[in-house]
Amino acid sequence: MGRIRSKDTRPEMLTRSAVHALGKRFRVHTETLPGKPDLANKAQKWAIFVHGCFWHGHAGCKLASSPRSNQSYWVPKLEGNRARDRVKIRALRSAGYRVLIVWECDARDGARMRDAVRAFFDQS
C-alpha cells in the first residue's frame, strides 16, 4: 500500500487534460480549500475531486471491492474516508463552490469522463 500515490495519479492526469482541453484554468491540490481538491478555480468557484473507487467506496463499482482480510481495520478506514469526503464537499458547497467527483472508473473510460467534465462546465 505504500506505493499508492495520492497525487498525480493516472486518473487525475487524464482529468486535468480533459479540463485543460476545455480551456479552463485551475490550481492543483489547493491547500486553502476544504479537502484540498485535485483541481480548483477560486475565481470561478469550482472544484473537482478525482476519487479512487476502492479508497472512496464508489457504490456499485467493481473496482470498489470490500477487503476480505483484516476487516476490522479496513471497514472503519474506508467508511471514515467516505464520511470525510461528505464533510469536505458540504463545506465547499456552503462556501459557494460547485463540486464534481470524477471516479477512477470514469477516468478509465475517457469518453465518459470527458462527457461528465463537459456537462459540469456547461451548467454554469
Q: Which domains does the chain carry?
A: 10-122 (3.40.960.10)
The predicted pLDDT at position 8 comes to 79
Model confidence, pTM: 0.91
With left for phi above 0 and alpha for psi between -120 and 50, is residue 4 left, alpha or beta?
beta
Q: Which residues of the chain, if any, have pLDDT below 50?
A: none
With left for phi above 0 and alpha for psi between -120 and 50, is residue 50 left, alpha or beta?
beta
The distance between the two most distant Cα atoms of the chain, rounded to a whole number of Å, is 45
What percentage of residues in the chain have a pLDDT greater than 70? 94
DSSP the chain: -TT--SSS-HHHHHHHHHHHHTT---EES-TTSTT--SEEETTTTEEEEEE-HHHHT-TT-TTSPPPSS-HHHHHHHHHHHHHHHHHHHHHHHHTT-EEEEEEHHHHHSHHHHHHHHHHHHH--
